[in-house]
Amino acid sequence: MRRAGIWLAAALACAAPAHALDVMHSETVTLKNGARLVLAPDALSKSVDVAVWYDAGSRHDVAGRTGVAHLFEHLMFRGSNLYGPDEHSRLVRNEGGSSGAYATHDFISFYETLPPDAVELAFRLEADRMTGLKLTQQGLDAERPLVTQEREQRATPISIGLERAYGLAFPNHPYGVSVFGRPADLSQITLKNLRDFYAARYGPRNAVVTVVGNFSRDRVVELARKFLEPIKGSSKGTKDLPADKPQTAERRAVERTQVPVRVLMTAWRIPPRSHADWAAFNLLATVLTRANDAPLAKRLIGNPALAYSIQGDVDSRREGSLFYLALAVTPEADSAEVERTLSDELARLGREPVAESDLERAKRQTETTIGFGLQTTRSRAQALGSGWMLAGDPQDLDHLLARVRGANAADLQRVAAQLTPQRRNVVWLLPISNGSTSSSSGGRP
Protein backbone atom coordinates (compact mmCIF):
# COMPACT_ATOMS: atom_id res chain seq x y z
CA MET A 1 0.00 0.00 0.00
CA ARG A 2 1.40 3.37 -0.99
CA ARG A 3 0.27 6.39 0.99
CA ALA A 4 1.69 9.90 1.12
CA GLY A 5 1.31 10.69 4.81
CA ILE A 6 -2.47 10.59 4.99
CA TRP A 7 -2.42 10.63 8.79
CA LEU A 8 -0.10 13.66 8.96
CA ALA A 9 -0.90 17.35 8.84
CA ALA A 10 -2.99 17.18 5.69
CA ALA A 11 -5.26 14.60 7.27
CA LEU A 12 -5.80 16.83 10.29
CA ALA A 13 -7.11 19.47 7.93
CA CYS A 14 -9.84 17.04 6.88
CA ALA A 15 -11.45 17.00 10.30
CA ALA A 16 -14.98 18.34 10.48
CA PRO A 17 -17.20 18.85 13.49
CA ALA A 18 -18.84 15.69 14.78
CA HIS A 19 -21.76 14.59 12.63
CA ALA A 20 -24.83 12.59 13.44
CA LEU A 21 -24.60 9.05 12.17
CA ASP A 22 -27.27 9.35 9.48
CA VAL A 23 -25.33 11.77 7.28
CA MET A 24 -24.05 9.56 4.47
CA HIS A 25 -26.54 11.04 2.04
CA SER A 26 -25.19 11.74 -1.42
CA GLU A 27 -26.14 12.52 -4.98
CA THR A 28 -25.07 10.33 -7.90
CA VAL A 29 -24.50 11.84 -11.35
CA THR A 30 -23.83 9.49 -14.26
CA LEU A 31 -21.63 10.89 -17.02
CA LYS A 32 -22.27 10.14 -20.69
CA ASN A 33 -19.42 7.61 -20.82
CA GLY A 34 -20.81 5.61 -17.89
CA ALA A 35 -18.58 6.95 -15.09
CA ARG A 36 -20.53 7.65 -11.91
CA LEU A 37 -19.94 10.72 -9.78
CA VAL A 38 -21.00 10.44 -6.11
CA LEU A 39 -21.23 13.85 -4.43
CA ALA A 40 -21.40 14.47 -0.68
CA PRO A 41 -20.82 18.18 0.03
CA ASP A 42 -20.03 19.43 3.54
CA ALA A 43 -19.60 23.19 3.86
CA LEU A 44 -18.11 22.81 7.36
CA SER A 45 -15.20 20.71 6.17
CA LYS A 46 -11.80 22.30 5.59
CA SER A 47 -10.83 19.98 2.70
CA VAL A 48 -12.17 18.04 -0.25
CA ASP A 49 -11.47 14.39 -0.98
CA VAL A 50 -11.59 13.12 -4.56
CA ALA A 51 -11.29 9.37 -5.02
CA VAL A 52 -11.64 7.08 -8.02
CA TRP A 53 -12.79 3.51 -7.37
CA TYR A 54 -12.24 0.94 -10.11
CA ASP A 55 -13.86 -2.46 -10.39
CA ALA A 56 -10.35 -3.81 -10.87
CA GLY A 57 -9.59 -5.86 -7.78
CA SER A 58 -7.82 -9.20 -7.66
CA ARG A 59 -11.12 -11.02 -8.16
CA HIS A 60 -10.34 -10.33 -11.82
CA ASP A 61 -6.93 -12.01 -11.69
CA VAL A 62 -6.65 -15.21 -13.71
CA ALA A 63 -4.89 -18.45 -12.90
CA GLY A 64 -1.16 -18.19 -13.45
CA ARG A 65 -1.22 -14.39 -13.33
CA THR A 66 -2.44 -13.67 -9.83
CA GLY A 67 -1.18 -10.37 -8.47
CA VAL A 68 -1.75 -8.33 -11.64
CA ALA A 69 -4.52 -6.24 -10.05
CA HIS A 70 -2.43 -5.33 -7.03
CA LEU A 71 0.58 -4.42 -9.17
CA PHE A 72 -1.39 -1.46 -10.49
CA GLU A 73 -1.42 0.10 -7.03
CA HIS A 74 2.32 0.55 -7.59
CA LEU A 75 2.45 1.10 -11.33
CA MET A 76 -0.11 3.92 -11.32
CA PHE A 77 2.52 6.11 -9.64
CA ARG A 78 5.32 5.40 -12.12
CA GLY A 79 4.41 8.10 -14.60
CA SER A 80 2.17 8.78 -17.57
CA ASN A 81 2.19 10.63 -20.84
CA LEU A 82 2.02 13.97 -18.99
CA TYR A 83 3.71 13.35 -15.63
CA GLY A 84 6.93 11.71 -14.55
CA PRO A 85 7.34 9.03 -11.87
CA ASP A 86 5.89 10.14 -8.50
CA GLU A 87 5.18 13.63 -9.91
CA HIS A 88 1.49 13.05 -9.25
CA SER A 89 2.14 12.79 -5.48
CA ARG A 90 4.54 15.74 -5.52
CA LEU A 91 1.96 18.03 -7.13
CA VAL A 92 -0.61 17.11 -4.50
CA ARG A 93 1.86 17.72 -1.66
CA ASN A 94 2.74 21.11 -3.15
CA GLU A 95 -0.91 22.11 -2.66
CA GLY A 96 -0.81 21.04 0.99
CA GLY A 97 -2.69 17.81 0.34
CA SER A 98 -2.11 14.10 0.52
CA SER A 99 -2.70 11.22 -1.86
CA GLY A 100 -2.52 7.47 -1.92
CA ALA A 101 -3.95 4.21 -3.14
CA TYR A 102 -4.86 0.74 -1.99
CA ALA A 103 -5.96 -2.49 -3.59
CA THR A 104 -8.41 -5.14 -2.41
CA HIS A 105 -9.92 -8.27 -3.89
CA ASP A 106 -12.93 -6.27 -5.11
CA PHE A 107 -11.58 -2.87 -6.13
CA ILE A 108 -8.65 -0.50 -6.29
CA SER A 109 -8.95 3.09 -5.10
CA PHE A 110 -6.85 6.21 -5.75
CA TYR A 111 -7.45 9.41 -3.83
CA GLU A 112 -6.38 12.99 -3.21
CA THR A 113 -7.31 15.02 -0.13
CA LEU A 114 -6.78 18.69 -0.90
CA PRO A 115 -7.69 22.23 0.09
CA PRO A 116 -11.00 23.15 -1.59
CA ASP A 117 -9.38 25.58 -4.06
CA ALA A 118 -7.19 22.77 -5.46
CA VAL A 119 -9.99 20.40 -6.44
CA GLU A 120 -9.31 20.83 -10.17
CA LEU A 121 -5.87 19.28 -9.74
CA ALA A 122 -7.41 16.02 -8.56
CA PHE A 123 -9.63 15.74 -11.64
CA ARG A 124 -6.78 16.60 -13.97
CA LEU A 125 -4.50 13.97 -12.41
CA GLU A 126 -7.10 11.22 -12.25
CA ALA A 127 -8.19 11.77 -15.84
CA ASP A 128 -4.58 11.40 -16.91
CA ARG A 129 -4.17 8.26 -14.80
CA MET A 130 -7.26 6.72 -16.43
CA THR A 131 -5.95 7.22 -19.96
CA GLY A 132 -2.23 7.93 -20.10
CA LEU A 133 -0.46 5.48 -17.81
CA LYS A 134 3.01 4.48 -19.00
CA LEU A 135 3.61 0.75 -18.60
CA THR A 136 7.25 -0.18 -19.19
CA GLN A 137 9.39 -3.24 -18.61
CA GLN A 138 11.68 -1.15 -16.44
CA GLY A 139 8.77 -0.15 -14.23
CA LEU A 140 7.50 -3.72 -13.97
CA ASP A 141 10.93 -5.04 -13.03
CA ALA A 142 11.35 -2.31 -10.41
CA GLU A 143 8.00 -2.99 -8.74
CA ARG A 144 8.17 -6.80 -8.49
CA PRO A 145 10.56 -6.84 -5.50
CA LEU A 146 8.66 -3.98 -3.84
CA VAL A 147 5.47 -6.04 -3.90
CA THR A 148 7.29 -8.92 -2.22
CA GLN A 149 8.67 -6.57 0.43
CA GLU A 150 5.24 -5.06 1.03
CA ARG A 151 3.72 -8.46 1.56
CA GLU A 152 6.38 -9.35 4.14
CA GLN A 153 6.10 -6.02 5.94
CA ARG A 154 2.33 -6.20 6.22
CA ALA A 155 2.20 -9.78 7.48
CA THR A 156 0.61 -10.20 10.93
CA PRO A 157 -0.82 -13.28 12.64
CA ILE A 158 -4.35 -12.09 11.77
CA SER A 159 -3.55 -11.37 8.12
CA ILE A 160 -1.73 -14.69 7.70
CA GLY A 161 -4.54 -16.57 9.40
CA LEU A 162 -7.20 -14.84 7.32
CA GLU A 163 -5.33 -15.58 4.10
CA ARG A 164 -5.18 -19.28 4.96
CA ALA A 165 -8.82 -19.29 6.10
CA TYR A 166 -9.98 -17.69 2.84
CA GLY A 167 -8.05 -20.34 0.95
CA LEU A 168 -10.03 -23.02 2.78
CA ALA A 169 -13.42 -21.29 2.62
CA PHE A 170 -13.15 -20.16 -1.05
CA PRO A 171 -11.12 -22.97 -2.68
CA ASN A 172 -12.25 -22.27 -6.27
CA HIS A 173 -12.77 -18.52 -6.05
CA PRO A 174 -10.22 -15.69 -6.45
CA TYR A 175 -10.91 -14.75 -2.82
CA GLY A 176 -8.94 -17.86 -1.90
CA VAL A 177 -5.71 -16.23 -3.15
CA SER A 178 -4.00 -13.27 -1.48
CA VAL A 179 -4.45 -9.88 -3.13
CA PHE A 180 -0.66 -9.94 -3.57
CA GLY A 181 -1.02 -13.03 -5.74
CA ARG A 182 0.95 -16.24 -5.59
CA PRO A 183 4.71 -15.56 -5.40
CA ALA A 184 5.42 -17.88 -8.32
CA ASP A 185 2.92 -15.99 -10.49
CA LEU A 186 4.47 -12.59 -9.81
CA SER A 187 7.64 -13.47 -11.70
CA GLN A 188 5.59 -14.66 -14.71
CA ILE A 189 3.55 -11.49 -15.24
CA THR A 190 4.41 -9.85 -18.56
CA LEU A 191 4.07 -6.33 -19.87
CA LYS A 192 1.33 -7.55 -22.21
CA ASN A 193 -0.62 -8.95 -19.23
CA LEU A 194 -0.49 -5.52 -17.64
CA ARG A 195 -1.52 -3.65 -20.77
CA ASP A 196 -4.44 -6.02 -21.35
CA PHE A 197 -5.63 -5.60 -17.76
CA TYR A 198 -5.33 -1.81 -17.95
CA ALA A 199 -7.36 -1.68 -21.16
CA ALA A 200 -10.01 -4.01 -19.76
CA ARG A 201 -10.49 -2.63 -16.24
CA TYR A 202 -9.44 1.06 -16.20
CA GLY A 203 -12.20 2.64 -18.23
CA PRO A 204 -14.99 5.04 -17.24
CA ARG A 205 -17.67 2.33 -17.11
CA ASN A 206 -15.69 0.62 -14.34
CA ALA A 207 -15.12 3.84 -12.39
CA VAL A 208 -16.93 5.49 -9.50
CA VAL A 209 -15.68 8.94 -8.44
CA THR A 210 -16.50 10.11 -4.92
CA VAL A 211 -16.19 13.78 -3.98
CA VAL A 212 -16.61 14.53 -0.28
CA GLY A 213 -16.09 17.72 1.70
CA ASN A 214 -16.08 21.43 0.96
CA PHE A 215 -16.82 21.97 -2.72
CA SER A 216 -19.29 23.57 -5.09
CA ARG A 217 -21.57 20.94 -6.55
CA ASP A 218 -21.88 22.74 -9.91
CA ARG A 219 -18.14 23.35 -10.12
CA VAL A 220 -17.31 19.69 -9.49
CA VAL A 221 -19.83 18.48 -12.06
CA GLU A 222 -18.31 20.95 -14.54
CA LEU A 223 -14.82 19.56 -13.83
CA ALA A 224 -16.02 15.99 -14.22
CA ARG A 225 -17.60 16.80 -17.57
CA LYS A 226 -14.45 18.60 -18.70
CA PHE A 227 -11.82 16.05 -17.65
CA LEU A 228 -13.59 12.69 -17.32
CA GLU A 229 -16.60 12.67 -19.63
CA PRO A 230 -14.58 12.87 -22.90
CA ILE A 231 -12.72 9.66 -21.99
CA LYS A 232 -13.78 6.68 -24.03
CA GLY A 233 -13.08 3.12 -23.05
CA SER A 234 -14.00 -0.49 -23.66
CA SER A 235 -13.83 -1.54 -20.02
CA LYS A 236 -15.43 -4.87 -19.24
CA GLY A 237 -18.21 -5.50 -16.78
CA THR A 238 -18.07 -7.87 -13.84
CA LYS A 239 -17.12 -11.34 -14.96
CA ASP A 240 -18.79 -14.55 -13.87
CA LEU A 241 -16.72 -16.21 -11.18
CA PRO A 242 -16.63 -19.89 -10.26
CA ALA A 243 -19.13 -20.94 -7.63
CA ASP A 244 -18.04 -23.13 -4.74
CA LYS A 245 -20.29 -25.93 -3.57
CA PRO A 246 -21.75 -25.49 -0.08
CA GLN A 247 -19.30 -26.62 2.58
CA THR A 248 -20.42 -29.79 4.35
CA ALA A 249 -17.23 -30.83 6.17
CA GLU A 250 -14.63 -29.10 8.28
CA ARG A 251 -11.43 -27.98 6.54
CA ARG A 252 -8.06 -27.58 8.28
CA ALA A 253 -4.61 -26.16 7.69
CA VAL A 254 -1.43 -25.91 9.77
CA GLU A 255 1.43 -23.52 9.08
CA ARG A 256 4.69 -22.68 10.78
CA THR A 257 5.37 -18.97 10.63
CA GLN A 258 6.72 -16.01 12.58
CA VAL A 259 4.23 -15.93 15.44
CA PRO A 260 5.27 -15.61 19.11
CA VAL A 261 2.64 -18.08 20.33
CA ARG A 262 0.25 -20.57 18.81
CA VAL A 263 -2.67 -18.89 17.05
CA LEU A 264 -5.99 -20.56 16.31
CA MET A 265 -8.06 -19.00 13.54
CA THR A 266 -11.56 -20.44 13.12
CA ALA A 267 -13.65 -19.02 10.28
CA TRP A 268 -16.97 -19.54 8.54
CA ARG A 269 -18.02 -18.37 5.10
CA ILE A 270 -21.10 -16.16 5.39
CA PRO A 271 -23.07 -13.90 3.00
CA PRO A 272 -21.71 -10.59 1.65
CA ARG A 273 -22.23 -7.25 3.38
CA SER A 274 -25.31 -6.46 1.30
CA HIS A 275 -27.15 -9.46 2.84
CA ALA A 276 -29.78 -8.79 5.51
CA ASP A 277 -28.01 -11.09 8.00
CA TRP A 278 -24.65 -9.32 7.85
CA ALA A 279 -25.50 -6.94 10.69
CA ALA A 280 -26.50 -9.82 12.97
CA PHE A 281 -23.21 -11.62 12.28
CA ASN A 282 -21.31 -8.41 13.00
CA LEU A 283 -23.13 -7.92 16.30
CA LEU A 284 -22.52 -11.56 17.23
CA ALA A 285 -18.77 -11.06 16.78
CA THR A 286 -18.99 -8.08 19.10
CA VAL A 287 -20.94 -10.00 21.72
CA LEU A 288 -18.40 -12.83 21.59
CA THR A 289 -15.16 -10.87 21.77
CA ARG A 290 -15.42 -7.16 22.52
CA ALA A 291 -15.95 -7.27 26.28
CA ASN A 292 -13.77 -8.70 29.07
CA ASP A 293 -16.81 -10.16 30.76
CA ALA A 294 -18.18 -11.85 27.64
CA PRO A 295 -18.94 -15.54 28.36
CA LEU A 296 -16.42 -16.77 25.78
CA ALA A 297 -13.67 -14.52 27.16
CA LYS A 298 -14.42 -15.73 30.68
CA ARG A 299 -14.03 -19.35 29.62
CA LEU A 300 -10.91 -18.85 27.54
CA ILE A 301 -9.06 -16.21 29.53
CA GLY A 302 -9.92 -17.64 32.91
CA ASN A 303 -8.05 -19.66 35.47
CA PRO A 304 -6.35 -21.64 34.12
CA ALA A 305 -6.09 -19.54 30.96
CA LEU A 306 -6.49 -21.25 27.60
CA ALA A 307 -5.77 -18.09 25.62
CA TYR A 308 -4.05 -14.77 26.12
CA SER A 309 -6.53 -12.91 23.93
CA ILE A 310 -9.45 -13.37 21.59
CA GLN A 311 -10.30 -11.32 18.54
CA GLY A 312 -13.26 -11.67 16.22
CA ASP A 313 -14.85 -9.80 13.35
CA VAL A 314 -16.57 -10.07 9.99
CA ASP A 315 -14.29 -9.51 7.00
CA SER A 316 -16.46 -8.35 4.10
CA ARG A 317 -16.15 -8.77 0.38
CA ARG A 318 -18.50 -8.29 -2.51
CA GLU A 319 -19.37 -11.94 -3.08
CA GLY A 320 -18.99 -13.31 0.42
CA SER A 321 -17.73 -12.57 3.91
CA LEU A 322 -15.77 -14.42 6.54
CA PHE A 323 -16.83 -14.57 10.19
CA TYR A 324 -13.70 -15.33 12.19
CA LEU A 325 -12.45 -15.82 15.72
CA ALA A 326 -8.70 -15.69 16.42
CA LEU A 327 -7.13 -16.88 19.68
CA ALA A 328 -3.58 -16.40 20.97
CA VAL A 329 -3.28 -19.75 22.74
CA THR A 330 -1.20 -20.24 25.89
CA PRO A 331 1.66 -22.78 25.84
CA GLU A 332 -0.04 -24.96 28.44
CA ALA A 333 -3.41 -25.16 26.70
CA ASP A 334 -4.48 -28.31 24.92
CA SER A 335 -5.80 -27.77 21.40
CA ALA A 336 -8.71 -30.14 21.99
CA GLU A 337 -9.92 -28.16 24.97
CA VAL A 338 -9.51 -24.81 23.21
CA GLU A 339 -11.48 -25.94 20.17
CA ARG A 340 -14.12 -27.64 22.32
CA THR A 341 -14.62 -24.52 24.44
CA LEU A 342 -15.10 -22.41 21.34
CA SER A 343 -17.56 -24.90 19.81
CA ASP A 344 -19.55 -25.23 23.04
CA GLU A 345 -20.04 -21.47 23.35
CA LEU A 346 -21.16 -21.10 19.74
CA ALA A 347 -23.54 -24.03 20.12
CA ARG A 348 -24.98 -22.44 23.27
CA LEU A 349 -25.59 -19.16 21.45
CA GLY A 350 -27.36 -21.13 18.72
CA ARG A 351 -29.74 -22.57 21.33
CA GLU A 352 -30.19 -19.60 23.65
CA PRO A 353 -30.77 -15.90 22.91
CA VAL A 354 -28.08 -13.48 24.00
CA ALA A 355 -28.85 -11.28 26.98
CA GLU A 356 -30.54 -8.01 26.05
CA SER A 357 -27.86 -6.09 27.94
CA ASP A 358 -25.13 -7.75 25.82
CA LEU A 359 -27.03 -7.00 22.63
CA GLU A 360 -27.59 -3.34 23.52
CA ARG A 361 -23.95 -2.91 24.45
CA ALA A 362 -22.89 -4.44 21.11
CA LYS A 363 -25.20 -2.04 19.28
CA ARG A 364 -23.74 0.94 21.13
CA GLN A 365 -20.21 -0.21 20.39
CA THR A 366 -21.05 -0.62 16.70
CA GLU A 367 -22.64 2.81 16.45
CA THR A 368 -19.68 4.39 18.25
CA THR A 369 -17.25 2.71 15.86
CA ILE A 370 -19.22 3.95 12.86
CA GLY A 371 -19.47 7.45 14.32
CA PHE A 372 -15.75 7.76 14.99
CA GLY A 373 -15.14 6.42 11.49
CA LEU A 374 -16.93 9.39 9.89
CA GLN A 375 -14.92 12.25 11.33
CA THR A 376 -12.85 13.15 8.24
CA THR A 377 -13.55 13.72 4.59
CA ARG A 378 -11.25 10.79 3.80
CA SER A 379 -13.15 8.38 6.04
CA ARG A 380 -16.54 9.53 4.72
CA ALA A 381 -15.29 9.07 1.16
CA GLN A 382 -14.12 5.62 2.18
CA ALA A 383 -17.61 4.77 3.45
CA LEU A 384 -19.31 5.96 0.25
CA GLY A 385 -16.89 4.34 -2.17
CA SER A 386 -16.54 1.01 -0.43
CA GLY A 387 -20.32 0.88 -0.01
CA TRP A 388 -20.72 1.22 -3.75
CA MET A 389 -18.02 -1.31 -4.60
CA LEU A 390 -19.01 -3.94 -2.02
CA ALA A 391 -22.78 -3.55 -1.95
CA GLY A 392 -23.65 -1.52 -5.06
CA ASP A 393 -24.97 1.24 -2.81
CA PRO A 394 -23.19 4.44 -1.67
CA GLN A 395 -25.69 4.63 1.22
CA ASP A 396 -24.73 1.15 2.40
CA LEU A 397 -23.45 2.41 5.74
CA ASP A 398 -26.78 4.07 6.54
CA HIS A 399 -28.63 0.88 5.65
CA LEU A 400 -26.21 -1.23 7.68
CA LEU A 401 -26.74 1.03 10.67
CA ALA A 402 -30.51 0.64 10.34
CA ARG A 403 -30.12 -3.15 10.30
CA VAL A 404 -27.89 -2.98 13.38
CA ARG A 405 -30.48 -0.90 15.24
CA GLY A 406 -33.27 -3.26 14.21
CA ALA A 407 -31.52 -6.54 15.08
CA ASN A 408 -32.89 -8.57 17.99
CA ALA A 409 -31.68 -11.49 20.09
CA ALA A 410 -33.50 -13.99 17.86
CA ASP A 411 -31.50 -12.73 14.85
CA LEU A 412 -28.20 -13.35 16.63
CA GLN A 413 -29.37 -16.78 17.77
CA ARG A 414 -30.36 -17.69 14.23
CA VAL A 415 -27.00 -16.73 12.68
CA ALA A 416 -25.04 -18.33 15.54
CA ALA A 417 -26.77 -21.62 14.71
CA GLN A 418 -25.19 -21.42 11.25
CA LEU A 419 -21.65 -21.50 12.68
CA THR A 420 -21.48 -25.28 12.86
CA PRO A 421 -18.40 -27.53 13.06
CA GLN A 422 -19.26 -28.91 9.61
CA ARG A 423 -18.92 -25.45 8.03
CA ARG A 424 -15.87 -24.21 9.88
CA ASN A 425 -12.37 -23.64 8.57
CA VAL A 426 -9.62 -24.16 11.14
CA VAL A 427 -6.12 -22.71 10.80
CA TRP A 428 -3.38 -23.29 13.35
CA LEU A 429 -0.35 -20.97 13.11
CA LEU A 430 2.62 -22.42 14.97
CA PRO A 431 5.86 -20.71 16.02
CA ILE A 432 8.76 -21.92 13.93
CA SER A 433 10.57 -22.96 17.11
CA ASN A 434 7.72 -25.26 18.18
CA GLY A 435 8.77 -28.86 17.70
CA SER A 436 5.31 -30.33 17.31
CA THR A 437 3.36 -30.49 14.06
CA SER A 438 -0.03 -31.91 14.96
CA SER A 439 -3.09 -29.71 15.38
CA SER A 440 -5.58 -32.50 15.72
CA SER A 441 -8.19 -32.44 18.43
CA GLY A 442 -6.27 -35.09 20.28
CA GLY A 443 -3.38 -33.00 21.55
CA ARG A 444 -1.49 -29.75 21.65
CA PRO A 445 -0.27 -28.50 18.24
Is a pLDDT exceeding 60 seen at residue 8? Answer: no
Check pLDDT > 50 for residue 10. no
Mean pLDDT value of segment 388-398: 91
Report residue 53's pLDDT band, with 50, 70 and 90 as the boundaries: very high
Q: Which pLDDT score, from 0 to 100, does residue 373 have?
A: 85
pLDDT-derived band of residue 237, with 50, 70 and 90 as boundaries? low
Lowest mean pLDDT among 97-106, 338-347, 369-378, 404-413: 369-378
For residue 172, CA distances in Å to 169, 195, 246, 333 come to 9, 26, 12, 34
Task: Please give the model's pTM, rounded to 2 decimal places.
Answer: 0.89
Averaged pLDDT for residues 285-306: 84
Q: Cα–Cα distances in Å, from 359 out to 181, 270, 354?
A: 39, 20, 7
How far is C-alpha 229 from the chain's CA centre? 29
Q: Kindly give the residue spans of alpha helices, DSSP state H, lying in 202-294.
A: 217-227, 278-289
What digits encode the pLDDT tens for the residues 307-354?
999 999 999 999 999 999 999 999 999 999 999 999 999 999 999 999
pLDDT of the residue at 236: 63
Give pLDDT, residue 293: 73
- pLDDT of residue 1 exceeding 50, the answer is no
Pick from 121, 68, 116: nearest CA to 90: 121
Q: What tens digit of pLDDT does each residue of 163-219 get?
A: 999 999 999 999 999 999 999 999 999 999 999 999 999 999 999 999 999 999 999
Q: Let me know: does 52 contact 181? Beta carbons within 8 Å.
A: no
Band the pLDDT of 371: cuts 50, 70, 90: confident
> To the nearest whole number, what is the mean pLDDT of the chain?
88
- Name the band, by pLDDT with cuts 50, 70 and 90, for residue 292: low
The pLDDT of residue 70 is above 70: yes
Q: Could you give the percent of the chain with pLDDT greater than 90?
A: 74
Q: What is the rounded average pLDDT of the residues 120-125? A: 97
Q: Which domains occur in the chain, in start order?
A: 2-227 (3.30.830.10), 251-431 (3.30.830.10)
Residue 436 has a pLDDT of: 47
d(CA 387, CA 36): 14
Instruction: Give the integer Cα–Cα distance in Å for 127 and 224.
Output: 9
